[in-house]
């Protein structure tokens, strides 16, 4: 008798259930796509991105890529020789040391350009990122902006040695 009731469902109901199931599978597949997830998140990549060696070294020095747009800063670091030169110069200045509190590389970049007498958004060539004293000053200025209220007055007061395990 139960078999007769199960088979007594209208055929259109079985079709609707099958269509709803198929749509659910398609939606799950589409949302799982990294391209669609990127689009749904407003262009902010949600797919895991491999970290470069340079980015790892910056992280050890407590220099973060950005407080605002990490994917954009990561793209600059990987594709713009000038941005890579900035990162390398920061690492030279901090050799064996780290900034005590995080400092964004994109802010260091803007402050460095200003120290050279340019607007913070003016593009400069890779060979212009060679003034290590100004890089040091840019790191300190960016740190002071991010950590207002601290009394440190020099670059040496905001860095510490990196302990090796």
- Look at residue 49 and tell me whether its pLDDT is greater than 60: no
Average pLDDT over residues 79-105: 93
What is the pLDDT, as a whole number, of residue 98?
Answer: 93
Mean pLDDT, the chain, rounded, equals 81
The angle at the Cα of 146, spanning 71 to 121, to the nearest 5 degrees, equals 55
Average pLDDT over residues 69-89: 91
Check if the beta carbon of residue 11 is closer than 8 Å to that of residue 4: no
Average pLDDT over residues 36-62: 69
- Look at residue 11 and tell me whether its pLDDT is greater than 90: no
| Whole-angstrom distance, CA of residue 84 vs CA of residue 88 | 6
What is the pLDDT, as a whole number, of residue 7?
Answer: 59
| Whole-angstrom distance, CA of residue 64 vs CA of residue 23 | 42
Sole residue written with tokens 């670091």: 77
Q: Per-residue pLDDT tens for 103-138?
A: 999 999 999 999 999 987 788 999 999 999 999 999
pTM for the full predicted model = 0.67
- Helix/strand/coil for 96: coil
Beta-strand relationship, 159-161 and 97-99: antiparallel
Average pLDDT over residues 82-104: 93
| Whole-angstrom distance, CA of residue 72 vs CA of residue 80 | 11
What backbone phi and psi angles, to 5 degrees, belong to 74?
-65, -40
More confident residue, 163 or 25: 163
Measured CA to CA in angstroms, residue 135 lies from 16, 35, 58 at distances of 65, 37, 14
Percent of the chain at pLDDT exceeding 70: 76
């Amino acid at each position: 008798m139960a078999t007769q009731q199960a088979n007594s469902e209208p055929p259109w109901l079985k079709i609707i259930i099958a269509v709803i199931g198929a749509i659910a599978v398609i939606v799950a597949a589409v949302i799982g796509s990294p391209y669609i997830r990127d689009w749904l998140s407003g262009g902010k990549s949600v797919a895991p991105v491999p970290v470069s060696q340079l980015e790892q070294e910056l992280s050890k020095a407590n220099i973060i890529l950005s407080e605002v747009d990490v994917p954009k800063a990561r793209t600059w670091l990987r594709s713009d020789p000038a941005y890579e030169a900035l990162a390398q110069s920061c690492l030279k200045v901090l050799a064996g040391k780290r900034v005590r509190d995080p400092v964004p590389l994109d802010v260091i970049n803007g402050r460095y350009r200003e120290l050279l007498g340019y607007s913070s958004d003016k593009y400069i060539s890779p060979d212009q990122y060679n003034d290590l004293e100004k890089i040091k000053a840019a790191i300190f200025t960016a740190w002071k902006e991010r950590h207002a209220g601290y009394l440190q007055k020099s670059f040496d007061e905001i860095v510490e040695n990196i302990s090796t395990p």
